Structure 1
Amino acid sequence: MANPTDLAKEYALMARLSRGEMVISEEALPVFGFTWFTVDPGDSIKLNGALRFNESDADLTVMLVEKETQEVTDSVSTRLLQLSTSALPPWPGSTSTGTDWSSLLGMVLPVMMLGMVAVVMKPKSEEKAGVSQVKEERKLLPEGRQG
């Protein structure tokens, strides 16, 4: 985020979670441990963070609020959806009632193993043929002048 003005500005990040017209929650997101943070004139800062919600089928809007005017100077919105995890392989230690991945692994693993064995067991004749082509007949140099 950038402050293009000639004065230091204070900003806050607000997160609003809503479903339709109903606001589920609205709260300030701490930046550097504070609600309001300052951006120097002509300066910019990069903010990294993550949010996690238990709500689904809702809209999340993150707003940048300028302290002096209390106006939203910028915002971004996204839709939170519940994803089905049955299409993903199970995590180690978890139980899954979705797709049986063992059948897929049973088909793919042997093909991968054959490919690895084929590379390792490359015929020696191919290796020797490549080396023999590189060798050329040796030519002797003429004797040098003797004084």
Structure 2
Amino acid sequence: MTPQVSVMSGSLGDIFWDLPPWMTYTPGFDLGCSIYVANPTGVEKEYALMARLSRESTLISEEALPVFGYAWFKVSPADFVRLRGALRFSESDADLSVLLVERETEEVTDSAATRLVAPQGTSALPPTWPGAPGTTETGFNWNSLLSMMFPVMMLGVVAVAARPQKDKVESKAVVEPQKLLSEGRNR
């Protein structure tokens, strides 16, 4: 049972995050993210966050996400808060939803969701690492090395081009006499 999600739908509060609509997730690893909670109203509101993991219509788990050790947290009127943290699950191939609950009504006012897809293969490493067991890539990939090095090489070219050129006529340096500091108070 996945809640209906629409962009900026909560009239009592909005939630959004930096996770993509779907991602590869290996169970047991931390899933770091930044969650933003906005209060579009003219009064201070209290909110709670709930994490819900479901597969099709089956609820796998549901738990409260504490913020600074508390179930409820406040957001000033017409303001937002950025919450950084990590989530960890023992399941994959499921839908992850973080629900924003408003305290007065105790109803879900908005939600953010992503699909967690299990990695292909049996590697313990994150699946996006080149050369990991179970990937089809063999040997050394020169294209990936060149694509990583190209921006660095271009930065070097720009730095050399931006360096001021020396004129053929050398200018004479002017030497200023040194000024001595006055002696301070003796104590």
Give me the TM-score of the superposition, normalised by structure 2: 0.48
Structure number having the greater strand percentage = 2
Offset at residue 52 of structure 1 (A): 2.0
Quick check: 1:63–1:72 contact (8 Å CA) kept in 2?
A: yes
- Superposed, 1:95-106 pairs within 5 Å as 96=133, 101=138, 104-105=139-140
Q: What percent identity do the matched residue pairs reach? A: 57
The one-character-per-residue Cα deviations of 1:76-102 (angstroms, maximum 9, x if unpaired) are: 111111112397324xxxxx465575x
Match of 2:88 among 28, 52, 61: 52
- Taking only aligned residues, the RMSD between alpha carbons, in angstroms, comes to 2.6
Structure number having the greater helix percentage = 1
Query: What is aligned with 1:89?
Result: 131
Of structures 1 and 2, the one with the larger relative CO (CA 8 A, separation 6+) is 2
Quick check: 1:12–1:65 contact (8 Å CA) kept in 2?
A: yes
Q: State the alpha-carbon separation in 2 of the partners of residues 76 and 86 from structure 1.
A: 24
Query: What is aligned with 1:16?
Result: 52
Number of matched pairs: 103
Q: State the alpha-carbon separation in 1 of the partners of residues 49 and 99 from structure 2.
A: 6
- Superposed, 1:1-147 pairs within 5 Å as 1-84=37-120, 85=127, 88-90=130-132, 96=133, 101=138, 104-105=139-140, 108=142
Query: Aligned to 2:38, what secondary structure does the other structure show?
Result: coil
Q: What amino acid does structure 2 have at the position aligned with 1:26?
A: E
Q: State the alpha-carbon separation in 2 of the partners of residues 17 and 8 from structure 1.
A: 29
Offset at residue 4 of structure 1 (A): 2.1
Q: What amino acid does structure 2 have at the position aligned with 1:50?
A: A
Give me the TM-score of the superposition, normalised by structure 1: 0.59
The one-character-per-residue Cα deviations of 1:92-120 (angstroms, maximum 9, x if unpaired) are: xxxx465575xx23x85xxx9xxxxxxxx
Q: Which runs of 5+ in 2 are unaligned?
A: 1-36, 121-126, 147-167, 169-187
Query: What is aligned with 2:3?
Result: none
Q: State the alpha-carbon separation in 2 of the partners of residues 36 and 47 from structure 1.
A: 13
Q: State the alpha-carbon separation in 2 of the partners of residues 97 and 83 from structure 1.
A: 10
Greater Cα radius of gyration, structure 1 or 2? 1
The one-character-per-residue Cα deviations of 1:102-143 (angstroms, maximum 9, x if unpaired) are: xx23x85xxx9xxxxxxxxxxxxxxxxxxxxxx8xxxxxxxx
Quick check: 1:13–1:64 contact (8 Å CA) kept in 2?
A: yes
